[in-house]
Amino acid sequence: MAKLDTILFDLDGTLADTAPDLAQALNLVLAEKGRPTLSFEDIRPTVSHGGRAMIERGFGFGPEHEDYEKTRLRFLEIYLQNIAQHTRLFDGMNEFLKEIEKQGLKWGVVTNKPSWLTNPLMTQLALTSRAACIISGDSAARAKPHPEPMIMACEQVGTEPERCVYIGDAQRDIDAGLVVGMRTLVALFGYLQEHDKPETWGADAMIDHPQEAWQYINQWRSE
């Protein structure tokens, strides 16, 4: 295996704790529609699965419903207006990023979040200039778990999949990394759902805290 030189992250539920702002947006839409709001604990596990999953959780309907698209757009409108009101990097993540940079490694983001939400969020978090790549859900023709975004990330960084580790909190993250030959880590601190079984996803390891990744990164760098 080639020596590791790049760490790639999923965004929601891995790099940043975006659930508070997304949950607030969903509850505001529910309130506007005269529906009961949900607890944060109810909403949090759906965040990594995108707006569709959140709408389905809150309203009980999907894209086939006549009100779905209007509801989705209103939800995203509210979210964009408050995109970094409560969002923060996960505990220990900023230190992790600083250490990555200190050691001369590169890092970037590969997310299914659309670019019109990803880019302002990365700007608000003061991460845009630090990231070697920012691949959004609409950057490539197909989003994760398709391998195309992962390949695009490598091209932008100037590396190869075998030199990357991808960290994510959903099975599609691990699937996308594995299919192109990246090493993969499951972020157990992210937005896993009760029925998720990350131990079956085929990742190289699972971590409870960003700093736990170093034991694997250091090992892979020395191989």
Give the SS3 label for residue 143. Answer: coil
Q: Is 10 a catalytic residue?
A: yes
- Reading phi first (left if > 0) and then psi (alpha if -120 to 50, else beta), residue 4 is in beta
Running DSSP on this structure, what letter comes out for residue 16? E
Q: Which of 12, 17, 21, 175 is catalytic?
A: 12
Quote the radius of gyration of the chain (alpha carbons, Å).
17
Q: Which of 5, 10, 169, 196 is catalytic?
A: 10
Is the bond into 145 cis (omega within 30 degrees of 0)? Answer: yes
- Inter-residue contact 43 to 26 (CB < 8 Å): yes
Distance CA 131, CA 87 (A): 18
Q: Is 196 a catalytic residue?
A: no
Distance CA 208, CA 93 (A): 12
CA angle centred on 198, ends 202 and 51, rounded to 5°? 115
- Residues recognised as catalytic: 10, 12
